[in-house]
């Protein structure tokens, strides 16, 4: 993926002076989002729906899917979001990757990673990488609903949280969110969550999780 030219930065953080620049592809998908649904669909129009986030605390993503029962191809995907430009552009591109050329299978769609979306977009600022995850999480929820609706309970993908720091009850999902928000070292994560400070036995697993999520989202 070609690095973005920060000399042409379009956004500058007034506090940190960090420069952000968006590719032409990102801008196109922000101003002209594909597969965006402006009003809720009619009952039965789609096979399943998934939603992540909360209007009370930040970004929200809602996604509807239609699946061909014979081929298991995702033939249609529509979405709505209460989120930033990066979330809109990422989800627009994600929807194309799922449905282009007649749609890909559910199993193939589940293998698409947030970094795959970023490659198609031409990159995102580091502080906005977490925005590409909203679509992925909403799609997984929609697929799980589809599996339940079709009686395929053995195919439901679970992602239960595991406690890493028993003293503070901090989970692996908390670590994931911290890395997505820019904490990429042990010191960064501890500063943000205080994890491992009172439970040193948690440090080895904490370091392993940081490496795992760095690889997963940043490559």
Question: Which of the following is catalytic: 38, 57, 153, 158?
Answer: 57
Categorise residue 53: left if φ over 0, alpha if ψ from -120 to 50, beta otherwise: left
List 74, 118, 124, 131, catalytic entry: 131
Let me know if 84 is a catalytic residue: no
| Residues identified as active-site | 57, 131
């Amino acid at each position: 993926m070609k690095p973005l030219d920060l000399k042409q930065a379009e956004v500058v953080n007034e506090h940190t002076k960090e420069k952000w620049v968006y590719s032409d592809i990102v801008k196109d998908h922000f101003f002209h989002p594909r597969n965006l649904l402006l009003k809720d669909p009619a009952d039965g129009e789609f096979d399943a729906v998934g939603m992540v986030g909360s209007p009370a605390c930040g970004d929200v993503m809602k996604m509807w899917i239609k699946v061909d029962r014979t081929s298991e191809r995702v033939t249609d995907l529509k979405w709505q979001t209460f989120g930033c430009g990066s979330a809109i552009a990422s989800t627009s591109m994600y929807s194309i990757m799922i449905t282009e050329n007649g749609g890909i299978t559910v199993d193939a769609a589940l293998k698409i990673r947030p970094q795959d979306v970023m490659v198609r977009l031409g990159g995102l600022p580091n502080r906005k990488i977490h925005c590409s995850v909203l679509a992925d999480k909403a799609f997984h929820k929609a697929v799980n609903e589809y599996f339940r609706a079709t009686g395929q309970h053995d195919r439901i993908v679970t992602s239960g949280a595991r406690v890493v720091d028993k003293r503070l009850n901090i989970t692996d999902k908390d670590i994931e969110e911290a890395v997505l928000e820019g904490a990429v070292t042990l010191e960064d994560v501890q500063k943000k969550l205080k994890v491992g400070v009172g439970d040193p036995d948690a440090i080895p697993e904490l370091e392993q999780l940081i490496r795992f999520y760095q690889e997963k989202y940043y490559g």
